[in-house]
C-alpha cells in the first residue's frame, strides 16, 4: 500500500509505492510536507498506485509518472495544468456524497435517510458548493468547525449539533475505509454540551380528556400509543392480520425497522382497554389484510391534512397544552405529540415497577447484548401491560 515520508532534500511529501512487478517507487507529490496536505498527498499516492496496477504493461515510464503526478497535484491545488497526460480519477466530495446517500436510502428508514440528506445539504451550504468538485481529502477539521459554528448561529440545539457532527463522522469513516483519506476530519471536533428537547408523557387525566373528545378510531389509536407503545404510522396501518383476539396480542413489524435484515416482529399483549375498544370497531371486510382504520391509513402522518396535525387539533379540543418550545432558526418543537404516548407507555410501566428489560422489550427499543439471552413468557408481558391503570371504571387497575 502507498505511504508517505519526508525528505531533507525536498519540501514536499514523498510518495512511496510498489508497482505490480515489485519495483519500489519514490516520487515527489508536489504538495508541501505539512499535516494539512497529508490527506491529499496520501490520496494521490493511492490513486497513483491504482493507476499503475491498471496499466496493461507492468513497466511505467518514470517521466510519465512524474507528468501524471504533477497533473494530479495541480488538480488537488486548484491549478490548471498544461500536461496532456490523463490523470488518475480522484473521487470528488460530491460524488462520494451521492454514493453514500444512495447506500443510506437502501439501508435506512425514510426519516433517517432524510436526516442524512439534510446534513449533507447544510454542510454543503457551509463549505460552499465549489468543494463538491474537489477530492474528499480537501475537507479539513477547520471546515467541520465552521459547520458547527454555522449550526449554532442558526439556533440549532446542542443535541442537533451533536447528531449532525456524528453523521459527518460516519461519512468520513466510510471515506477512510475506501482509502480516500487517512484521517477523519470530524474526529478532533469537540461536541457541544447541553440538553436536547425531549417529549413529555401524558398524564392519565390528560388521556381521559383526549378520549372524551375523540371518535372510535382515534380512541383506539390513542390507546394503541399509550398502552401498546405503537407509533402513529404503525398504529394507523394495522390490519386485522396483526390482531389476535384469541390470544389478545398485537403482532407487527415497526415501519422504522422494516428495512433491516433479520428484524423480529414486536408482540404486545392487549391491555383490557385496547381489547374492548377493538371489539367495538366495525369490520368492513373479511380479508385479513383489511385495515383496522378504513380511510385513516391513507392520509399519512405529515402535512396539514395528516394524522399528526389531526392529533394536534384533538389536543387543542381537549384543552391540552402541547408545550411548544421556540428556538431561533428552527421549527417550533412540541413537547407533547402523538409520539408522547410512547413515553406515556414506558412511564406508566416504570411507575408500576415493571423492570427495565421488560419495558425495552415491549417498546421495541434497542438494548444491551444481554437481551439476546433474556426470554419472558407471554404471561409476564401481559402482567406488565395490565399493571397500567385503566381509563374507565371497569378496566381500572385494582388496588
Q: Which of 177, 171, 168, 178 is nearest to 148 (CA)?
A: 168
- What is the Cα–Cα distance from 224 to 391, expressed in whole angstroms? 13
Average pLDDT over residues 2-22: 84
Domain residue ranges in the chain = 3-77, 93-177, 204-395
Average pLDDT over residues 145-165: 87
Indicate the length of the chain as a whole number. 399
The confidence score (pLDDT) of residue 211 equals: 94
Please report which residue ranges of 272-339 form alpha helices under DSSP H: 272-279, 307-318
Higher-pLDDT residue of 223 and 368 is: 223
- What is the Cα–Cα distance from 172 to 186, expressed in whole angstroms? 7
The confidence score (pLDDT) of residue 60 equals: 40
Average pLDDT value over all residues in the chain: 81
The confidence score (pLDDT) of residue 328 equals: 59
pLDDT tier at 35, thresholds 50, 70, 90 = confident
Higher-pLDDT residue of 64 and 297 is: 297
Homologous superfamily (CATH) of 204-395 is Intergrase catalytic core (1.10.443.10)
pLDDT tens digits along 243-301: 999 999 999 998 887 767 777 888 999 999 999 999 988 887 778 889 999 878 778 88
* Choice among 188-197, 224-233, 274-283, 360-369 with the minimum mean pLDDT: 360-369
The confidence score (pLDDT) of residue 388 equals: 85
The confidence score (pLDDT) of residue 274 equals: 94
pLDDT tier at 89, thresholds 50, 70, 90 = low
- What is the Cα–Cα distance from 365 to 184, expressed in whole angstroms? 30
pLDDT beyond 80 at 165: yes
pLDDT beyond 70 at 371: no
The confidence score (pLDDT) of residue 370 equals: 37
**Contact present, 214 and 315 (Cβ < 8 Å):** no
pLDDT tens digits along 203-241: 889 999 999 999 999 999 999 999 999 999 999 999 999
- What is the Cα–Cα distance from 291 to 238, expressed in whole angstroms? 6
The confidence score (pLDDT) of residue 77 equals: 52
* Maximum mean pLDDT: which of 78-87, 198-207, 241-250: 241-250
Report the relative pairing of strands 249-252 and 3-7 from DSSP bridges. unpaired
Average pLDDT over residues 184-208: 85
Sign of the alpha-carbon dihedral angle for 5, 6, 7, 11: positive
Higher-pLDDT residue of 85 and 392 is: 392
And the C-alpha cell for 99?
454514493
pLDDT beyond 50 at 384: yes
The confidence score (pLDDT) of residue 56 equals: 39
Determine which helix (DSSP H) or strand (DSSP E) holds 146, and give its type and residue range.
Answer: helix 141-153
pLDDT beyond 50 at 372: no
pLDDT beyond 70 at 54: no
The confidence score (pLDDT) of residue 238 equals: 94
pLDDT beyond 60 at 392: yes
Task: Report in angstroms the alpha-carbon separations of 326 from 111, 155, 320, 342.
Answer: 22, 10, 18, 23
Amino acid at each position: 500500500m502507498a505511504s508517505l515520508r519526508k525528505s531533507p532534500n525536498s519540501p514536499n511529501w514523498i510518495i512511496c509505492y510498489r508497482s505490480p512487478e515489485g519495483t519500489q517507487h519514490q516520487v515527489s507529490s508536489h504538495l508541501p510536507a505539512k499535516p494539512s496536505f497529508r490527506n491529499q498527498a496520501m490520496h494521490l499516492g493511492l490513486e497513483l498506485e491504482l493507476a499503475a496496477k491498471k496499466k496493461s504493461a507492468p513497466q511505467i515510464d518514470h517521466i510519465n509518472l512524474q507528468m501524471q503526478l504533477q497533473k494530479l497535484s495541480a488538480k488537488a491545488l486548484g491549478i490548471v495544468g498544461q500536461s496532456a497526460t490523463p490523470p488518475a480519477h480522484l473521487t470528488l466530495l460530491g460524488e462520494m456524497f451521492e454514493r453514500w446517500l444512495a447506500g443510506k436510502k437502501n439501508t435506512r428508514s425514510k426519516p433517517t435517510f432524510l436526516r442524512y440528506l439534510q446534513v449533507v445539504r447544510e454542510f454543503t451550504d457551509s463549505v460552499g458548493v465549489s468543494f463538491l468538485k474537489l477530492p474528499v481529502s480537501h475537507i479539513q477539521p477547520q471546515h467541520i468547525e465552521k459547520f458547527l459554528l454555522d449550526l449554532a448561529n442558526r439556533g440549532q440545539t446542542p443535541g442537533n449539533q451533536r447528531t449532525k457532527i456524528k453523521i459527518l463522522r460516519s461519512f468520513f469513516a466510510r471515506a477512510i475505509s475506501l482509502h480516500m483519506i487517512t484521517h477523519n476530519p470530524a474526529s478532533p471536533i469537540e461536541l457541544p454540551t447541553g440538553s436536547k428537547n425531549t417529549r413529555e408523557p401524558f398524564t392519565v387525566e390528560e388521556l381521559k380528556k383526549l378520549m372524551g373528545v375523540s371518535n372510535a378510531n382515534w380512541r383506539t389509536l390513542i390507546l394503541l400509543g399509550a398502552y401498546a407503545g405503537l407509533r402513529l404510522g404503525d398504529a394507523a396501518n394495522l390490519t386485522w392480520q396483526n390482531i389476535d383476539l384469541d390470544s389478545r396480542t398485537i403482532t407487527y413489524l415497526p415501519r422504522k425497522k422494516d428495512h433491516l435484515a433479520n428484524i423480529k416482529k414486536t408482540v404486545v399483549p392487549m391491555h383490557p382497554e385496547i381489547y374492548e375498544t377493538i371489539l367495538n370497531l366495525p369490520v368492513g371486510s373479511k380479508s385479513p389484510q383489511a385495515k383496522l382504520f378504513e380511510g385513516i391509513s391513507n392520509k399519512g402522518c405529515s402535512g396539514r391534512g395528516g394524522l399528526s396535525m389531526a392529533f394536534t387539533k384533538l389536543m387543542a379540543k381537549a384543552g391540552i397544552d402541547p408545550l411548544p418550545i421556540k428556538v431561533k432558526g428552527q421549527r417550533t418543537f412540541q413537547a407533547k405529540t402523538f409520539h408522547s404516548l410512547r413515553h406515556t407507555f414506558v412511564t406508566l410501566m416504570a411507575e408500576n415497577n415493571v423492570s427495565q428489560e421488560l419495558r425495552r422489550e415491549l417498546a421495541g427499543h434497542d438494548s444491551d447484548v444481554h437481551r439476546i439471552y433474556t426470554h419472558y413468557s407471554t404471561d409476564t408481558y401481559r402482567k406488565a401491560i395490565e399493571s397500567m391503570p385503566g381509563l374507565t371504571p371497569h378496566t381500572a387497575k385494582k388496588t
